Amino acid sequence: MYEWSRDETLLRWSGGSPLVMSLKDFKEALRHELRQHDRHSRSFSLLTNTGEFIGRLGYYNIDYRRREAELGIAIGERKYWGHGYGTDAVKALLAHIFQETNLERVYLYAYADNGRAQRAFEKCGFRTVDQSRKFSLEHGSYEEIKMEIYRDDWVNQHAFEKSID
């Protein structure tokens, strides 16, 4: 994870900024994060079938009143990019969210020029609802896509997939 947090390409696609801290400080910060319980966030490790740790995903900014949350995913191991791991992980996370919580809507943001991520999210049932120009000190000016999926859409898609199996 430390190497991923210093990978400018990965961070560009995931909206982060290169980490500026020592490995020792990173380990301590990670230990602290793992001990914290945040009722507005759930994070999971992404593993291959052989148990190799290749990324993280989760949902955060959980709004219990509005029954919605934001989804995020990063596959840090580049050799696993483009092989369906992200799509499978997002599908599994959506199943968890819509079967185990009362959340009704999940949304996410992607860079407009990250077509691979957008296609993966579309395979999971997300649809684009907005595109806007943004600016940040870390990334400058960029186009951002907002995508979302509602529980009803996921249930209907899941029922359709079962009917064609």
**CATH architecture of the domain with range 4-164:** 3-Layer(aba) Sandwich (3.40)
Q: Kindly state the average pLDDT of the residues 51-63.
A: 92
Angle between helical axes of 85-100 and 115-123 (0-180°, round to 10): 40
Every domain of the chain and the residues it spans: 4-164
Please state, in angstroms and rounded to a whole number, the distance separating the CA atoms of residues 53 and 28.
Answer: 19
Mean per-residue pLDDT over the chain, rounded? 83
Q: Where are the beta strands (DSSP E) in 53-155?
A: 53-63, 68-75, 105-111, 127-136, 140-150
In 3D, which of 3, 6, 30, 31 has the Cα closest to residue 16?
6
pLDDT of residue 74: 86
Whether this prediction's pTM lies above 0.85 is answered by: no
Measure the CA–CA gap between 21 and 25, rounded to whole angstroms.
6
pLDDT at 11: 57
d(CA 99, CA 101): 6
Beta bridge partners of 75: 55
Provide the 10 A C-beta neighbour count for residue 32: 9
